[in-house]
Amino acid sequence: MKEIVELSNKMITIDRNEFLKVKGSIDTNIYYVVSGSLRIFVFDDYEEQTIRFGYKENIIVSLDSFLTGKPSDFFIQAIKKTVIKVITKQQFDKFLEIESNQNLWTKILENLVLQQMEREVDILTNSPKERYERVLRRSPQLFQEIPNRYIANYLRMSAETLSRLKKS
């Protein structure tokens, strides 16, 4: 991943609650989180559904828009003041001209697919306790970086339920 981060020659700061991208926009950048945290969410029937987080040393991207060049349904919003490095599609395409870099990108995408499969299992798991325990095992850092209300939304439970689970 270090090789991808080194492609960036631009750093930006996003204030708390500011949007990096909004639904309906095209975003063909990859972002590397230097500090702070972000969330990716969709707005569904008057309700936000958080689907992913990014925090220190994570790559975050509106993957649908990045891969297709079409508008995305996703919002990316800073949870707290966040510093990110920007890698453009042009920089990345040039990077992929090297075969070993294509292998790295394939590994990153494979990892992302596996994470999404785990996420789907989390959502389909009936018990809030099981969802909480699975995410805690997989991403303990999440609970240090992200406020409870966003984690609760991500886990499809109330903030009160999450609080109760964390205490038990």
In a domain, 6, yes or no: yes
In a domain, 8, yes or no: yes
In a domain, 91, yes or no: yes
Tokens of 48: 């936000």
In a domain, 159, yes or no: no
Q: What angle do CA 150, 153, 155 make, to 5 degrees?
A: 110
Q: What is the CATH number of the domain that holds 92?
A: 2.60.120.10
The tens-digit pLDDT sequence of the chain (168 residues) is 788 999 999 999 999 999 999 999 999 999 999 999 999 999 988 889 999 999 999 999 999 999 999 999 999 999 999 999 999 999 999 999 999 999 999 998 999 899 889 888 888 877 899 999 989 998 899 999 999 999 999 999 999 999 999 998
pLDDT at 2: 86
Interval 4-31: pLDDT, tens: 999 999 999 999 999 999 999 999 999 9
In a domain, 9, yes or no: yes
Collapsing DSSP to helix, strand or coil, 46 comes out as coil
User: What's the CA gap between 44 and 18, in Å, rounded?
Assistant: 20
In a domain, 59, yes or no: yes
Range of the domain at 75: 2-96
Tokens of 68: 């297709």
In a domain, 55, yes or no: yes
The count of domains in the chain is: 1
- Distance spanning both ends of the chain, measured CA to CA: 37
In a domain, 90, yes or no: yes
Interval 88-100: pLDDT, tens: 999 999 999 999 9
